[in-house]
Structure 1
Amino acid sequence: MNITYKTDVKPTTQQIIDLYNSAGLNRPTDDADRIGKIYENSNLVITAWDGDLLVGVSRTLTDFYYCSYLADLAIKLEYQKEGIGKKLVALTKETLGDQCMMLLLSAPTAMEYYPKIGMDTVKNGFIINRKK
């Protein structure tokens, strides 16, 4: 397996939908327009490819100098447990630099994963949930 990582390519909406569905990521994949807008408004997208196949994505909202929110980390099911997620997180942090913090909200099923790749748990957050 020869995985390449890219910061200069935003996948098509359909590629993203296919990836999210394979990864089991809970996103509104039945609303292609919304998925497209999510990516249009994201300012750091790092992708993982196996040839022409999108196998992973890290999507971040950031100012690049103080804070960032790693909004999505998704790996195609058959490519999980190969280190792709860890590499995408590392490349994201490398791109952000040492002055920028990186925050992530985890799905309940992934709570044990993130400490394994060097992320600290935070308990000082608040949220107003979306309505749909």
Structure 2
Amino acid sequence: MSIVLSDSKELDSVQVIELYKKNNWSSADKPNELLNALKNSHGLISAWDKDKLVGLANAISDGFLVVYYPHLLILPDYQGKGIGRMIMDKLQEKYKHFHQQILVADGNSVEFYAKCGFEQAGKCTPMWIYKGAEHD
């Protein structure tokens, strides 16, 4: 398996929606909004096995001080093969000089992000207004 990373915002919409559905993300139910959100992200990295989209992550940023990583998804059959780490390394390379890199980790992803250098944000409590159902 030879994975190639891309920073192009031109993605196959069918493959993007399939990636989100296979990971049970509710944003797949809003395909137009999801695709527009990804295209308008400050940073977007996708992972490819030949012409198959196997993962992606995006970044939202003010462009100078703060970057937030809202999405990182890998097709289930490709998880555990280092692809997520490759994508995060690429994003962190782009934003390494930023004052603050932020994300919200839940469940099993906490351990993964700790391996990428993230740590719990002091006594901060993540808060949101959320319209999905997968994070009860």
TM range (shorter): 0.7 to 0.9
What CA distance in whole angstroms lies between the structure 1 residues aligned with 2:99 and 2:51? 32
Q: TM-score, normalised by structure 1?
A: 0.87
Q: TM-score, normalised by structure 2?
A: 0.84
Identity of aligned residues (%): 26
User: Which aligned pairs between 1:1-132 and structure 2 lie closer than 5 A?
Assistant: 1-22=1-22, 24-122=23-121, 123-131=123-131
Residues 17/29 of structure 1: CA separation in 2 closer, same or farther (3 Å cut): same
What CA distance in whole angstroms lies between the structure 1 residues aligned with 2:108 and 2:96? 28
Judge which range, 78-87 or 101-110, deviates more: 101-110
What CA distance in whole angstroms lies between the structure 2 residues aligned with 1:37 and 1:9? 10
Judge which range, 80-89 or 11-20, deviates more: 11-20
What CA distance in whole angstroms lies between the structure 2 residues aligned with 1:101 and 1:28? 26
- Which amino acid counterpart does residue 69 of structure 2 have in structure 1? L
How far the C-alpha of 1:12 sits from its partner, in A, is 2.6
- Which amino acid counterpart does residue 19 of structure 1 have in structure 2? L
Judge which range, 8-17 or 78-87, deviates more: 8-17
- Show structure 2 runs of 5+ residues with no match: none
How far the C-alpha of 1:98 sits from its partner, in A, is 1.6
Q: Deviations over 1:64-95 (max 9, x none)?
A: 32001101000111111111111111100111
What CA distance in whole angstroms lies between the structure 2 residues aligned with 1:131 and 1:50? 32
What CA distance in whole angstroms lies between the structure 1 residues aligned with 2:5 and 2:66? 23
Aligned length: 131
Structure 1 vs Structure 2 CA RMSD: 1.8
What CA distance in whole angstroms lies between the structure 2 residues aligned with 1:126 and 1:117? 19
